[in-house]
Chain A
Amino acid sequence: GIQVEQSPPDLILQEGANSTLRCNFSDSVNNLQWFHQNPWGQLINLFYIPSGTKQNGRLSATTVATERYSLLYISSSQTTDSGVYFCAGGSYNTDKLIFGTGTRLQVFP
């Protein structure tokens, strides 16, 4: 099955800094999602992005399906961005998402 690798595993930023999180896939995917798990444990959908680029406020994501990776950009980070960011992918003819182990982000004032 698909394997999902995320990097970096941990990231510490000062408020206002920009960051890029990466997600690599071992095989082709036709579903790619980014989630933010806040400090209270809630999983929040950020992007559904099997290919292309999307933006939502300070966050944007790009998936290059042919090269099997996706990037999540966080600009002008805020303390409320802290938490764990997961990417998850699913391949053709399956009904499942496979999750990476996440990037833990801490943003300090």
Chain B
Amino acid sequence: NAGVTQTPKFRVLKTGQSMTLLCAQDMNHEYMYWYRQDPGMGLRLIHYSVGEGTTAKGEVPDGYNVSRLKKQNFLLGLESAAPSQTSVYFCASSYLADPGEQYFGPGTRLTVT
């Protein structure tokens, strides 16, 4: 049981480039989440999904898109990266609603120059 995994672990982008972060979970969880963590701050929710084929906006959705084509995968896309998107990105999943106990991946450190 790998739990929640994230790919890649590190990435450096130039302003305007695009990329996709992949989150995968093998716990058959319905709910998946993308957060970002900036220095000295807690985690802020970007987007989340309550099931395959669904997505919803969190606190800070601008500049990001997501897709949940398969239950076990949740993709986070940056279409045109900006320096303000330099952050550590965490994916999480949970089984229950309202919300249930969340389990986190190891994070992806993204730098946009």
* A interface list, Cβ under 8 A from B: 4, 30-31, 33, 35, 41-43, 45, 48, 86, 88, 90, 92-102
A-B contact list, 5 entries, CB within 8 Å: A41-B88, A42-B107, A43-B90, A45-B104, A95-B31
Pick from A31, A45, A102: contact of B103, CB under 8 Å: A45
A93 & B103 in contact (Cβ 8 Å cutoff): no
A90 & B101 in contact (Cβ 8 Å cutoff): no
A94 & B106 in contact (Cβ 8 Å cutoff): no
B102 & A33 in contact (Cβ 8 Å cutoff): yes
B104 & A43 in contact (Cβ 8 Å cutoff): yes
- The CA of A93 and the CA of B97, in the complex, are separated in Å by 8
A90 & B43 in contact (Cβ 8 Å cutoff): no
Residue of chain A at shortest CB distance from B44? A99
B99 & A102 in contact (Cβ 8 Å cutoff): no
B61 on the A face (CB < 8 A): no
- Rank and list the top 5 A-B pairs by shortest CB-CB distance, nearest first: A99-B42, A48-B101, A43-B104, A90-B99, A99-B43
